[in-house]
Chains A and B, each alone.
Chain A
Amino acid sequence: MHEMGIAMQIVEIATASIPDDIADVRVERINLKVGKLAAIVPESLRFCFEIVAKDTLVAGADLIIEEIPINAKCNDCHAEWTINEPVFTCNQCNSGAITLLSGRELDIHSIEIYDKDA
């Protein structure tokens, strides 16, 4: 539901990342890293992005979404594992004291622009 606000931020950040010296720029792709624990539905995000990107420098760009797994580390036995079920206790010693190493990302990793000289 908040994908519209997220999409607006993506347009803003991606637009600001375009180097000033490029004329007639065409942004082909925006590469995102989205953690599995982030509250994002890719389909809604793409839908919202298409709307807010209209008439901006990133209009028509594809959102490429890389899903980042939820990786955790146990603070007690130092085991590291990937959480695939909604259970946030150590899969070795059952401790509840865990640190999430990844899974909360909502990052713009890069943008790819059309390069007519390539």
Chain B
Amino acid sequence: MLIPGFRTLRYNHRKDFHKSPHTHSNGHGAGGAIKTSTREIKVVRRVLDVNDAMAARNRELFAEKNVFVLNVMSSPGSGKTTTLEKTLIRIIPEIKSAVIVGDICTTHDADRLSVTGVPVVQINTDEFGGDCHLAAHVIEKATDNLDLDTIDLLIVENVGNLVCPAEFDIGEDARVVVLSVTEGEDKPVKYPLMFRECDAALLNKIDLLPYLEYDKELAVKYILQIHPDMPVFEISAKTGDGLDLWIDWLKVRIKEKIS
């Protein structure tokens, strides 16, 4: 797992970048006294080409089926599942929805979301090597189990992890990150890629603020430092506080696509 290079571990992290297991001359430098015996073959390809191509196919399929896809990411324990439960209960009278839930193992989250009555597909990534994220091909496989013609909104609850899911396009229309006030205020600056890649942030568990020494303004400042203009919704999935504004934002985004 990455601890991005901005903070204290930066020194080691950067050092490692420049570490070459063998001293060698590659023939480019003037000081290369030893004649090299290698031939360089240009490749120039993105390592995630295969995932990106699959994500593009997913995106085409979702466009054809007129389905808005929301990718929800967070660290473990931030309240993603509760947030989605409460969100679904409020939107399903209006918007036909389905959920894909990613976890390394167990079906606990799927069981919890099933009570809302929407179709839920649980992905256990241990079948895919215990992956810490959902990749595009896994989403494609999961959609085989859903009738995309009958839904307008597909929510993907990604594996709880602030690092890897940010790197993998799954063909979604919007990405949101959930963080909670029981985590450090500095999560956004520790995991900048996640906060750069997402379209909105949900700051959850605000009902606990009176009991914590959490600097909410600092957390919001950090979010906006990484992603200026990002909407930040302060919510309590438990009490329902603040959910309306978040749901209004989501509905606007959905209507933009499938009106």
Contact = CB atoms under 8 A, between A and B. Distances in A.
Q: Are A and B a genuine interacting pair, yes or no?
A: yes
Interface of A: 1-2, 4-6, 9-10, 12-14, 17-19, 28-29, 31-32, 34, 36-43, 46, 62, 64-67, 85-89, 95-97, 100, 106-116, 118
B6 A106 contact: no
Nearest to A89: B228
Interface in B4-41: 4-6, 13-14, 16-22, 24, 26, 35-41
Contacts of B41: 17-19, 110-113
B22 A2 contact: no
Contacts of B47: 6, 9-10, 13, 32, 106-108
A38 B166 CA distance: 9
16 contacts: A4-B129, A17-B41, A19-B41, A42-B19, A46-B21, A86-B6, A86-B222, A87-B226, A96-B224, A108-B44, A108-B47, A109-B43, A110-B41, A110-B43, A112-B39, A114-B37
Contacts of A107: 44-47
B63 interface: no
B20 A86 contact: no
Interface in B161-212: 161, 163-164, 166-168, 188-189, 192-193, 196
A13 B166 contact: no
B132 A38 contact: no
A79 B5 CA distance: 24
B109 interface: no
Interface of B: 1-6, 13-14, 16-22, 24, 26, 35-50, 129, 131-133, 135, 161, 163-164, 166-168, 188-189, 192-193, 196, 222, 224-229
Q: Chain A at the B interface: mostly helix, strand, loop or mixed?
A: mixed
Contacts of A116: 37
B194 to A, nearest CB: 9
A40 B5 CA distance: 10
B167 A2 contact: yes
Contacts of A37: 4, 192-193, 196
A100 B38 CA distance: 35
Of all A-B residue pairs in the complex, the 9 with the closest CB atoms, nearest first, are A96-B228, A1-B132, A86-B189, A2-B164, A112-B38, A67-B17, A115-B39, A118-B37, A108-B43
B240 to A, nearest CB: 31
B43 A5 contact: no
Given A39-B193, A86-B189, A89-B225, A109 B44 contact: yes
